[in-house]
Amino acid sequence: MYTKEVIKHFRRPKNLGPLKNADVCAQVGNPICGDVLKIYLKVINNKITQIGFETIGCVAAIATSSMITELAKGKTLTQAKKITFQDIAKQLGGLPKVKMHCSQLAVQALQQAIKIYEQKNKS
C-alpha cells in the first residue's frame, strides 16, 4: 500500500519536534480523519532556516509532514508557498488516493505558518 519512501519517513521522520525559538507555529487539522499537524518555522532574511513538526495521525500524515519539512527547509517564503500536495506525493513515490488528503493537510499547515509569519512581520 505504501512506498518505501513513505515508510522511511514514517519510521524516521525528518525535523520531528517543536522548535524552541520558533518565529511562528501553525496548527491545522482534518475533522473527518482526526489528523492534526503543528508546524514550526524559524525564518531569517525571508528564508526558512529551521522547521519542525508534530503530527497526530496515520502513516501517511506523518510521512507527508516529514516530507514537507524537507521540501521547505532552506527555501525562501516565496519558494515555500509554491510547494504543492503533488510535490509531496511525488517525492514520496506516490500515495494511495485515499491518503492524498494528508499531503494537502501538510501544505495547508505550511501555508498557514507562512501567512501568520508574514502578518506578524509586515513592515
Active site residues: 33, 102
Neighbours of 120 (CB within 10 A): 9
**CB-CB neighbours of 94 under 10 Å:** 14
The torsion angles phi and psi of 117, rounded to 5 degrees, stand at -60, -45
**Torsion sign (Cα): 48, 54, 57, 59:** positive
Handedness of CA 90, 92, 98, 101 (dihedral sign): negative
